[in-house]
């Protein structure tokens, strides 16, 4: 899980930003927040397990 800082309340926080071409650039010191749907679109760079964990957290958070 390179670049993933934490998964909190259904959001995936990564250490990086969007490049000029729209792809994720890791290790820039910036913090980018992705929802699970965006993470699945970036499946080559963000692990699917992170998207699934964030999805479960969203379900539990919104169910309250």
Q: Provide the domain limits for residue 30.
A: 4-63
pLDDT of 64: 63
Stretch 7-14: mean pLDDT, rounded? Answer: 94
Three-state secondary structure call for residue 11: strand
Which tokens hold the place of 18? 């969007």
Q: Does 63 have pLDDT greater than 90?
A: no
Band the pLDDT of 12: cuts 50, 70, 90: very high
Q: Does 1 have pLDDT greater than 80?
A: no
Which tokens hold the place of 64? 């309250």
Q: Does 47 have pLDDT greater than 60?
A: yes
When the pLDDT of each residue in the chain is averaged and rounded to a whole number, the result is 89
One DSSP character per residue, 27-52 reads EEEEEEEE-HHHHHHTTTTS-HHHHH
- Residue 24: which residues within 8 A CB-CB, separation 6 or more? 3, 14, 16, 17, 18, 32, 42, 45, 46
Number of domains observed in the structure of the chain: 1
């Amino acid at each position: 899980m390179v670049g993933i800082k934490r998964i909190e309340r259904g959001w995936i926080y990564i250490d990086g930003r969007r490049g000029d071409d729209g792809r994720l650039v890791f290790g820039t010191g910036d913090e980018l927040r992705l929802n699970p749907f965006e993470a699945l679109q970036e499946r080559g760079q963000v692990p699917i397990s992170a998207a699934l964990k964030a999805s479960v957290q969203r379900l539990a958070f919104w169910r309250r």
